[in-house]
Structure formats: structure tokens, C-alpha cells
Amino acid sequence: MESPVKPGLSDNRDFIAGLLFALIGVLAVVLASDYPFGSTMWMGPGYFPTVLGGVLALFGIYLMIRGLRVAERIKGRWGWRPLGFITLSIVLFAATVERLGLVPALFAVLLVSSLAGRDFRLKDALVLTLVMTTIAVLIFPYGLRLPYPLFPGVLWTY
Amino acid sequence: MDVLSHLVLGFSVAFSLENLLYCFLGVLLGTLVGVLPGVGPLVTIAMLFPITFHLPAVPALIMLAGIYYGAQYGGSTTSILVNLPGETASAVTCIDGYQMARQGRAGPALATAALASFFAGCVGTLLIALFGPPLGEWALKFGAAEYFSLMLMGLVAAAVLTQGDPVKGLAMVVLGLLIGVAGTDVNSGMSRFTFGIPALSDGLGFTVVAVGLFAVAEIVANLESRDAREVFTSKVRNLMPTARDLRDSAWPAVRGTALGAVFGVLPGTGAALSSFASYMIEKKLARDPGRFGRGAIEGVAAPEAANNAAAQTAFIPMLTLGIPASATMALMLAAMMMQGIEPGPHVMVSNPDLFWGMIASMWIGNFLLVVLNLPLVGMWVRLLRVPYRWLFPSIIMFSCIGNYGVNNNPVDVYLVALVGVAGYVLAKLECEPAPLILGYVLGPLMEEYVRRALLLSRGDPTVFFTRPISLAFMIGTLFVLFIVIRPVLRPKTR
């Protein structure tokens, strides 16, 4: 409605949403076909997921058709930069917390997620990392006595 | 009086030193996090949940309830001072609250919000105590068919009545149900949708879904757009409302409470709907509607009372029927299940100390909010000055540790990242996350009930329409759907 030019398919909000729902629905039906379906009286583990997947796919197809008829653009831009850095920071935490210990993992998540912001300032980010790491170490291993090594082999025991 | 003896039991539980402490801690932490700009009650609960996970059931739920109120109240503070609502329920408070703050009357606005909320909270708690038991007793008659139909009605209503596209809402509910049934099937022991990942054999964790959808996705969306905001921090000096403020806001608070109490029980965004409706009513009733939008105190008192009353009565269907009316209640429900409590009418009988202790602590929590908030306003104001570039990495960090801590398994943290990406994409496509979380929480229950109902009826699906209570819920479902489809059927007038 906002612009006279029809948005392309990759920018068509409802079409994309519908496509996602339809794909997930079909995937669910396909995966659920491996589980015994049973009967309406004795429902197997495949019954409910198959029905749900089918319904989801139908909603998806409806949204795709509606998107083609009444095309609406996706509002704003995609925030790939914040999405990338935030996701990366979480993945780094997960990858390092058991191998390198809690402190390096906290450093990784705080520093890398800081990069996702628009007004990134290195000094601020470093101070924040130090302060929040200290707080987190005080709350979790010390306060809640969770047995997470701070560094490989270094446990806070008292 | 039965209610009285129950309340005495409740207060004796809630007034134990330990539980008082957890209630206080919950309210304090909830407000502390909830007041942060851009952090709504859902994110707050999702983030702080892992802390309560290590506690026994009663203090854990008391603390969670405290977090819930604190977050709710903290959100109002942010609305008034920053014009940045943490969630839709407090969006209306922004209109006049923020104008009051601009006129240097932030203090009275905050105090009025606190007092109106407290009043609404007291009434709401009383209503739970009065109506919870009879409703629960009625619900004891429910069989599997009734529960299935009731859940269907709840989910359809929640999907359709939220803001945004009803079809997408329904699709999100179904997606939530699918995610909810992932993991080991209780009846056959079969693994479903686990993709060979052992960590998924218990299904996708509820904190993973909640934090991914409401903290990670939300933060990315906030970072993508930057709004200028003005914080009125130096001007909060005079807290006390004048006698005229009190007189002007008394009836609006009462009306708001009444409206909120009714809407809160209904599925969907009860709190948001009631705060909008009560604002409209006050505007209609006012002798000079022109003042609204320019700092009318009624415009703060009524919606604040309404959303707090709704926040309170939303507990009624959750505690007595096991049906969450909102995404926040879905989180509370999931928290109860993780504590090993099967929600529903049996809770009152099997865990009366928990049920009544929680109700009593709700009142204490509301009381603590007033006591805590008015003197601490200065501190909350200082928190509002915290720049977002410090906030969001800290939230991400707490989300990581919290989710790692649930099972001490890094796979859960990877999954948070995955859900976060999916949540962001869905939000970009304007698919609301709230219906998804409702479906996710109810998924396994619904499957169990539909199985049981159809087993008992020997595979006859008409069972949902021949039992009177179930039929009533089904008619309710169709009615809600009809309201939504009607505008589509009518010829377009645009």
C-alpha cells in the first residue's frame, strides 16, 4: 500500500511468512510420517504432529496466496549486523564455557555482543566486560555455588 | 468462612521469613530489571527464571510472582519517564504519564500509578481468593474432552485477539504446539523431532524458547532501529500527589480495576485490552476530554489500575484450570510444571500451602511494591540513564549463563541462538511471538487430552460436541473465529 511499485517476492512480507510456515508444516508432516500414526481411537505418536503440520502448511499456503494478492513490504531493513554479532556472541559462549572456562566465555559474549550496537566504543565495552564478568562470577559460582570452572581446572571452592 | 481459613493458611506460609525474603527479592529484582528501558515483563521473567530454578517450589513461585509484579510496575515507571513502554499493556500510560513528566509532574504520576496499582492489586488478589476455589471445584468435573475444548478456545482467542494479523496468530499457535510436542512422546517413548540431538529428547527447553524469542530477538529488533529518547530524570522531586490529584484519580482507578479484573480472565492480551478500554472510557466520561493526551492524571490512574487488576486476575484461569491467559502466564505455568506441579484444579487440593501461600504473597508483593517504589524512585531513575549499549550485552550474558545453568549443557545455549534468529525473522514478518509461547506450553497437554478424550469415546470425534461443557467451549471458539472472519466476508468498503 505504501509504495505504488509492487514489492518483489523476497520483500513480500506475507508471502515469505506463508512460505516459512508452509515449509515447516510440510517438514513436520514428512518427519512425522516416520512415527506410527495409529487410529483416531488409539492415536500413535505421529497422529497429532501430522495434523498440526498439515494445518500449519494450510495456514502457510493461505498467507502465500494472500501475500501475492495484497503485497505488503517488510518494514524497515533487516538488521543483519546486530543479528550476526548477537548470534555469534551466544555461540562463542556455548563453544567456550566448558573448554576454556566461565571467565573467557563471559569475555567473549560481552565483547562480541557489544559490537552489535551502533555506538560501539572499545573503552566502554572493555569496562562493561570487566564489570559484568565480575558480577556474574560473584552471582553464579560464588553466590549460587554453581560448580563452573572459572578457567580450565580453576574452581571457586570455599 | 472457608475463604478466611484458607487466607490464614496462605498468610502463615507467606509470612515465613524465608518466603518473605524471596517475595521481597523477587519484587526488587523484577523492578530493577523491568525498569530498564526496552525490557518488558516477559524478558524479565524469562531472564530471571533460571535463578528461581534452584529453589523449592513454594519460594520459587512466590519469587516468580514477585518478579512478575515488579517487572509490571517497573514498566510503568519507564513509560512515564521515558515514553518507552516495555509492553503493550503500559503503552497507554505513556500518553498522559509522559506528558505529566514533561510538565514536571513525574512524581505525582509515579505515585498515582503506584497507588492505583496497589488498589487494583488488592482487589485482584481478593477476587482470586473468592473465585478461584469455586471455579476450581467446577473444573474438577472436566474430563479430557472439556479440557481439550477449553484449551482450543483459549489458544484461538489468544491468537486472534492479540494485535496483528489473526491468521498469523493462529499459524504461530500451531507452530508453538508443534515445538511443544517435540521430544519424547510420553505414551510410546518415541523421540519426535529431535534430529538425533540428545539434548532435545526432553523437548526444547522452555527457558530456551522464552529467552530466544523474548530477549534475543527483541534485542536485535531494538538495535536495528534507534529511537531518540528523552529521559526526565532531574525533575522527580515532589512525589506526593495533591488532594485534587487523589480526588480526580479515585473513581478512574475503581473503574479501571473493575474493567481490568474482567478482561484479565479472558485469554489474549487482557491487560493491554483493558488498559486501552479504560483509557477510552475515562476520556468519554471526562467533562473536558481535551485534557487527555496533555497530562491528565485520570489517564494514568485508570489504565494502570486496569492493567494491574488484569495482571492479577490472569492468575485465576492459570491456577484453577491450568490455562494461561497471556504469554506471561504461560511462562508462570511452564515454571510450575518445571517445579513438578501439574497445574489445574488439583493444585488447590494437593498443594494448598502453595496455592494459598502464593495468593497471600501476591498481596504482600503488591504492598512491597508501594513501600519499595516510592522511596526508591530516585534509584530507578538513575537506572533509566543506563545506556542501551551497556544493557543489551548484559542481558545476553545473563541469558547465556541462565540457560547453560538449567541443564549444565552448552547445547541449550546454541539452541537459544537458533531460536533467537528464528524469532527475529518471524518478528520482522510481523508474526507475534506471544501465541507461539502459549501453544508451546499447552502442546503436550493438548495432545494428551485429545488422545484420552478420543480413547474414551472409542474414536468418535463428536464427543467434543455432545458433552455440554465441551460444546459450550467449542461454540465459544467458533464465536471468536466468527468475529475475525466477519470483516473478511463483508464486501470491502475501503
B452 contacts in chain A (CB < 8 Å): none
Question: Out of A32, A45, A56, whose CB is closest to B171?
Answer: A56
Q: What is the pLDDT of residue B113?
A: 86
How many angstroms separate the CA of residue B224 from the nearest CA in chain A?
Answer: 5
Residue B44 contacts residue B30 (beta carbons within 8 Å)? yes
Does any domain span residue B491?
A: no
Q: What is the pLDDT of residue B493?
A: 46
3-state secondary structure of B183: strand
Expressed as residue numbers, the domain containing B453 is 2-486
Question: Out of A21, A32, A102, whose CB is closest to B171?
Answer: A21
A55 contacts in chain B (CB < 8 Å): 174
Does any domain span residue B75?
A: yes
C-alpha cell at B178: 508443534
Does any domain span residue B15?
A: yes
Q: Cβ of B220 and A79 within 8 Å?
A: yes
How many angstroms separate the CA of residue A11 from the nearest CA in chain B?
Answer: 10
Residue B111 contacts residue B374 (beta carbons within 8 Å)? yes
Q: Cβ of A32 and B431 within 8 Å?
A: no
Q: Cβ of A17 and B168 within 8 Å?
A: yes
Does any domain span residue B82?
A: yes
User: How far apart are alpha carbons B219 and B17 in whole angstroms?
Assistant: 37
Does any domain span residue B494?
A: no
The domain total for chain B is 1
C-alpha cell at B429: 514478518
Q: List Cβ neighbours of B305 (8 Å cut-off, separation of 6 or more).
A: B116, B117, B119, B120, B252, B253, B254, B255, B256, B257, B260, B278
A83 contacts in chain B (CB < 8 Å): 220, 421, 424
Does any domain span residue B73?
A: yes
Question: Out of B397, B411, B414, whose CB is closest to A136?
Answer: B397
Q: What is the pLDDT of residue A121?
A: 85
How many angstroms separate the CA of residue B430 from the nearest CA in chain A?
Answer: 8
- What string of pLDDT tens digits covers the 494 residues of chain B? 577 788 888 888 878 888 889 889 999 988 888 888 767 778 888 888 877 877 888 888 888 888 888 888 888 888 888 776 666 667 788 888 888 887 878 888 888 888 888 999 899 988 988 888 888 888 888 888 988 998 898 888 888 876 678 889 999 999 999 999 998 888 888 888 888 888 888 888 888 888 888 888 888 888 887 655 555 555 566 667 777 777 888 888 888 888 888 888 876 666 777 888 888 888 888 777 778 878 788 888 888 888 888 888 888 888 888 888 788 888 888 888 888 887 788 888 788 888 888 888 888 888 888 888 778 877 877 777 778 888 889 889 988 988 888 888 899 999 999 999 999 999 899 888 888 988 998 888 899 999 999 988 888 888 899 898 899 999 989 988 888 777 665 554 44
Q: What is the pLDDT of residue B11?
A: 82
Q: Burial code of B42-72, b = ≥16 C-beta within 10 A, e = fewer?
A: bbbbbbbbbbbbebebbbbbbbbbbbbbbbb
Q: Cβ of B174 and A52 within 8 Å?
A: yes
Quick count: other Cβ atoms within 10 Å of Cβ B188?
15
Does any domain span residue B431?
A: yes
Q: What is the pLDDT of residue B492?
A: 47
Residue B369 contacts residue B70 (beta carbons within 8 Å)? yes
- What string of pLDDT tens digits covers the 158 residues of chain A? 445 567 788 888 899 999 999 999 999 999 998 888 888 888 888 899 999 999 999 999 999 999 998 888 888 888 888 999 999 999 999 999 888 989 999 999 999 999 988 878 888 899 999 999 999 888 888 877 778 888 887 776 65
Does any domain span residue B133?
A: yes
How high is the ipTM of this complex? 0.91
Residue B2 contacts residue B130 (beta carbons within 8 Å)? no
